[in-house]
Amino acid sequence: MALLFLFLVLTHLAYLQNISANFYSDFDITWGNDHAKILDNGQQLQLTLDQSSGSGFQSKNEYLFAKIDMQIKLVPGNSAGTVTAYYMSSQGDKHDEIDFEFLGNLSGDPYIMQTNVFSQDQGNREQRIYLWFDPTADFHTYSVLWNPQQILFSVDGTPVRVFKNNENVGVAYPKNQGMRIYSSLWNGDDWATRGGLVKIDWSKAPFVASYQNFNAQVCSTSSSDCSANAWYSQVALDSGEQQQLEWVRKNYMVYDYCSDTKRFPQGLPTECTR
Ligand SMILES: *[C@@H]1O[C@H](CO)[C@@H](O)[C@H](O)[C@H]1NC(C)=O
């Protein structure tokens, strides 16, 4: 009996994985070779942008549902025109994507954090917020909880956005294809800072963004039995989280596509009216 129990526990555990990263084992540098560096025996990664190139990395593995945390310290000083993108994406046609994009600014002016969700190639779901701290002074944790019911974006554990599964009213939801994790640091000065008004000051290059303490809770792709995980089963925010989300939206929201009636003259996207 005890043996049978042990056997059941072990086979069940095999379906659940918790990956604490080493950048060497979990990621590949995919762009800008010498502009990206893994440091401290794999504990840290740095991306660099200068006039010759930006840089980027991607995860070796694909995940179908996950809770992922990454600590990032954004480009300090005059980062105007730089974009640090941190996202998950599927490959090929009808792609799904879950995005964080950090838009740099002049020294002392606030970064903007933009989020977006693509399902079956359908994006145009930008939200933009300021952060309640200086994201260049220290590492902060940026997380995505992606399960069959919702995609929850959070910063240092504070929820900043929820994208719910609204398939029942015809909104496609990412749930049929795995995604890799990607990050890149690039020149976005045609749009990023004050709508493209402020350009990169190359005399301030190189620009550097740093990463550490990647953590992923994932479902094994060979199994659908992931439901024992709290993150996997979460269907909605609890009331404390809901309050935090409202605090963010009230005090830090810069732009919400769901309020942009000019952009959608035929009516707001369906998920906005839920
Ligand atoms: C940069 O600072 C300006 C002035 O405070 C602000 O309007 C803008 O939203 C900030 N962020 C970006 C990315 O443009």
Tell me how far apart the alpha carbons of residues 207 and 46 are, in angstroms, rounded to a whole number.
Answer: 10
167 is catalytic: no
192 Cα: distance to centroid of ligand 1 (angstroms): 9
Query: What are 157-168's pLDDT values in tens digits?
Result: 999 999 999 999
Among candidates 87, 242, 218, 101, which has minimal Cα distance to 161?
Answer: 242
Average pLDDT over residues 247-257: 98
For residue 111, the model assigns a pLDDT of 98
Of all protein residues, whose CA lies closest to atom 3 belonging to ligand 1?
109
Tell me how far apart the alpha carbons of residues 129 and 173 are, in angstroms, rounded to a whole number.
Answer: 23
258 Cα: distance to centroid of ligand 1 (angstroms): 21
pLDDT band at 219 (very low <50, low <70, confident <90, very high): confident
- Asked whether 103 lines ligand 1 (CB < 6 A), one says yes
CATH for 259: 2.60.120.200
Structure tokens at 195: 């709508």
Among candidates 17, 40, 256, 3, which has minimal Cα distance to 128?
Answer: 256
Q: Among the options 97, 167, 241, 271, which is catalytic?
A: 97
Q: Mutation test of ligand 1: which of 194, 197, 198 has the most ligand atoms closer than 8 Å to its C-beta? A: 194
Q: Could you tell me if 227 and 220 are in contact, meaning their C-beta atoms sit under 8 angstroms apart? A: no
The total of structural domains in the chain comes to 1
Query: What are 193-211's pLDDT values in tens digits?
Result: 999 999 999 999 999 999 9
- Asked whether 98 lines ligand 1 (CB < 6 A), one says no
CB 256: neighbour CB atoms within 10 A? Answer: 15
Q: Could you tell me if 231 and 73 are in contact, meaning their C-beta atoms sit under 8 angstroms apart? A: no
DSSP state of 148: S
Rounded to whole angstroms, what are the CA distances from 121 to 43, 98, 205? 34, 11, 34
Domain with 223, as residue range(s), is 2-273
